[in-house]
Amino acid sequence: MHELSDVYSYLRWKKRFPAVWCPGCGIGSIMGAIIRAIIDLEIPKDDIAFISGIGCTGRMPVYLDFNTMHTTHGRALPFATGIKMHRPEMKVIVVSGDGDSLAIGGNHFIHAARRNIDITMILVNNSIYGMTGGQVAPTTPIGKVTHTMPYGNYEPPFNPVELAVSAGGSFAARGTVFSILQTTGYIKKAIKHPGFALVEIISQCPVQYGRMNNLGSARDMLLMQKKNSVPIKKAKEMSEEDLDGKIITGIFKEEIKTEYSSAYRNFAKEIRDGTGREDSP
């Protein structure tokens, strides 16, 4: 367990609170989980670069006492790539919503995974665009109602974890806000992992997604996460029909692969050691 005063010391709580998030939102719990993971890992605050894009999740850096950067919509990963490449000793953590990282930032997402650059990506998946008022996201399940899918969504959604793995990411896990302690464990593993590490966290948006689809209060939505969660081991034994609408949780991939920023440093060192072209100025 963590002392509340320890958690508070990571917040810019004197200046910035109350937070912008709606009552019942899951992002606050996820922020708490990230802080607790960092406390356990004992990483100095100065060594952490905490980057976000735009959206509800994009507002998280303001509240945290790290080197924080709130960038443009969908571009958190390339900004983070620049930071990691110039200061490879820093721990770079990206928080991003589902629309931010999979729609407008989808290209950067697959390329960061392909490079396997040492960035921890916390993807908060609430199945909707919250900040703009509840429009369809690339993660909205088929049939669900949003403000831009008033007759029900007919676009098939992404599976972010599978996407990251197939693009080349070396760590991928999925957790829920309901089982936040388990999710904290995934975040810890992801931060420690040398390479592109994705943690997708299924979160609840009672104000937009829940309201439009009659899913009840935040409590009801959290209980639904509990009911629908299936651990990955158990899911392997289940049929596809049984898995329909379920949330498969657990670590999908954990593998040590060549990491981009260290590979670049090694390659650059070789060039400096004498194999470089002679016309270098």
Partner 1 sequence: MTLNRKSPRGNPLLFIQGNEACVYGAIHAGCNFFAGYPITPSTEITEGMSVNLPGIGGTFMQMEDEIASIAAIIGASAAGAVSMTATSGPGFSLMQENIGYAYMVQLPIVIINVQRGGPSTGLPTMLSQADTMQARWGTHGDYTAIVLTASSVQEAYNVTIRAFQIADRFSTPVIVLLDELIGHMREKVELTMINNKNPVRRKLPEVPPEWYFPYKNTLDMVSHPAPFGEGFRYNITGLIHDKAGFPSSVEHEVINRMEFLRNKIMQHCQEIWDYREFYTEDAKYLIIAYGSAARAARGAIETLRNMRIKGGLIELKTVWPFPYLPISKIAEKAKSKIIFVAENNMGQLVHPVNEIFSNSVKVFNINRFDGHAIDPYEIVDMVKENIYA
Contact status: 268 vs partner 1 (CB under 8 A): yes
Please tell me whether residue 217 binds partner 1 under the rule CB under 8 A.
no
In whole angstroms, the minimum distance from the beta carbon of 22 to partner 1 comes to 18
Closest among 118, 126, 129 to 261, alpha carbons compared: 118
Please report, for residues 39, 55, 147, 160, the alpha-carbon distance to residue 151 in angstroms, rounded to integers and kept in the order given: 45, 24, 9, 25
The reply on whether position 69 binds partner 1 by CB under 8 A is yes
90 versus 221: smaller Cβ distance to partner 1 = 90
Q: Counting contacts by CB under 8 A, is residue 233 touching partner 1?
A: no
152 binds partner 1 (CB under 8 A): no
147 binds partner 1 (CB under 8 A): no
Task: Find tokens 């905490």 and name the residue.
Answer: 50
State the Cα–Cα distance between residues 179 and 250, nearest whole angstrom.
Answer: 11
- CA dihedral of residues 198, 208, 177, 179 (deg, nearest 10): -130
Of the candidates 6, 47, 162, 242, which one interacts with partner 1 according to CB under 8 A?
A: 47
Residues that bind partner 1 (rule: CB under 8 A) add up to a total of 45
CA–CA distances in Å: residue 198 to residues 64, 154, 164, 270: 20, 27, 7, 31
- Length of the chain in terms of residues written: 281
89 binds partner 1 (CB under 8 A): yes
| Sign of the torsion formed by the C-alpha atoms of 69, 22, 159 and 256 | positive
Nearest residue (CB) to partner 1, 82 versus 156: 82
Interaction of residue 122 with partner 1, rule CB under 8 A: no
Per CB under 8 A, 234 contacts partner 1: no
Separation between Cα atoms, residue 183 and residue 30, nearest integer Å: 9
Considering beta carbons, is residue 154 or 267 the nearer one to partner 1?
267
Nearest to partner 1 of 50, 252 (CB atom): 50
Summarize as ranges the residues that interact with partner 1 (CB under 8 A): 12, 15-16, 45-47, 49, 51, 61-62, 65-72, 75, 77-83, 85-87, 89-90, 107-108, 111, 264, 267-268, 271-272, 276-281
